[in-house]
Amino acid sequence: MKPTIRITLIIICLASLWGASCRKEVAGSAGPSGETLLDHLQNNYAFSLFYHALQRTGLDKQLNGKNNYTLLIPDNDAFANDGIFTTDSLDRMDTASLRAWMSYHIVAGSIKVADVPQTVNNPYTSISGEPLWFSRPVPGFGQSQTDFDHILHINGDTVNSPDIIAPDGVIQVLSSPLKLPVLSIQTWLSAQPQYSEFVTCLQHFGLWDQLAGPGPITVFAPENASFLDVRISPDSLSRLDTVRFQQKLFGIYIVNPARIFLTDFYDIPFPPSIDGQYYITPNNTYNFSSGALIDGGLDPVTGQGIPNAYWIAPNLIMTNGVVHGMHGVLLTPGQTKK
């Protein structure tokens, strides 16, 4: 019987700070005098960058009050977190690419938090034709439903101000701009030099080809420096014997089929499993300002500690799943000998 190793993810939800704005929005609020979506964008400075992007791409003309839309708006602070501080930054972008990106933040119809099924990864389609994934928390033991009535996650991002109501739709204010999925996991990892050693190991252990499949697939990708931290050199990685070591040495980083955002660990009261052996559960007993931490605990057979890890690039949505860039490893070769 194979041992079970419990992997604990500690997810820290960082509150985004609002910058200067004409007024403060609250959950379920409506614009003054029933102003339309377009009026609301024009009259609220916190949305000026998003409004400018819509004007530059002509998407503002689609918000003519005749049809209902849900706007997933990154406010100015959210754009700043993405390195976009002024309209000049938006103007330097290719117009077609900017239009595709902003279209990904617009969904036809009015979608309020209460309209979203209370589970994870409900599919919606943006006007760009690309899928979005909406999640609402399911209360766990001892938790009240009212504590979750206004919580919504989209592609693993938190909605800061939900349900701003207009006669022609709804605004959901995001803490970060959404990333448009354009590449498969395999294609993306191939182009990232910081994960080259991880890619080599996946290829070596016969785990690589699946990452080009339709998915959904979730990959926890350790950067190259992770292996050096546990005294594993690039040379020793290339010489790992696939007969001597179990495939789970690197298979542990792939969950297939599954699309898992970090917010899912808060939104569902049961742990997702990896290969039927490894379990990921939320743990709120720590408070690490650096973000989420993976605590491997102890191997029940060897008693050896499993190294800790933390996120460096979480919730990277791909056409066939999600990648979470991380620093650190979950298992060492010594823990996976056959």
What is the homologous superfamily of the domain 32-174 according to CATH?
FAS1 domain (2.30.180.10)
pLDDT of residue 303: 44
pLDDT reading at 55 higher than 90:
yes
- For the chain, the C-alpha Rg in angstroms (whole number) is 22
Please give the residue that has the higher pLDDT: either 128 or 4: 128
pLDDT of residue 321: 97
pLDDT digits (tens, 9 = 90+) for 300-309: 444 444 456 7
| Nearest by Cα to 8 from 241, 326, 325, 265 | 265
Mean pLDDT of the chain: 80
The answer to whether 296 and 305 have CB atoms below 8 angstroms apart is: yes
pLDDT reading at 12 higher than 50:
no
Cα–Cα distances (Å) from 123 to 114, 129, 165, 259, in that order, read 15, 12, 22, 11
pLDDT digits (tens, 9 = 90+) for 256-284: 888 989 888 778 765 444 444 444 443 33
Cα–Cα distances (Å) from 144 to 52, 137, 138, 139, 148, in that order, read 40, 11, 10, 6, 7
Whole-model pTM over 0.85: no
- Where in the chain are the domains? 6-12+181-335, 32-174
pLDDT of residue 110: 97
Q: Which of 11-25, 75-89, 242-256 has the highest mean pLDDT?
A: 75-89
**Counting Cβ atoms within 10 Å, is residue 153 exposed (0-12), middle (13-18) or buried (19+)?**
buried
Task: Look at 185-194, 222-231, 268-277, 321-330 and tell me which has the smallest mean pLDDT.
Answer: 268-277
pLDDT of residue 17: 20
pLDDT digits (tens, 9 = 90+) for 95-119: 999 999 999 999 999 999 999 999 9
pLDDT of residue 158: 92
Considering the domain delimited by 6-12+181-335, tell me its CATH architecture: Roll (2.30)
Write out the two tokens for 135.
């999640």
**Counting Cβ atoms within 10 Å, is residue 3 exposed (0-12), middle (13-18) or buried (19+)?**
exposed
Same fold, 6-12+181-335 and 32-174: yes
Three-state secondary structure call for residue 225: helix
pLDDT of residue 141: 64
The answer to whether 184 and 211 have CB atoms below 8 angstroms apart is: yes
Question: Percentage of the chain surpassing pLDDT 70?
Answer: 77
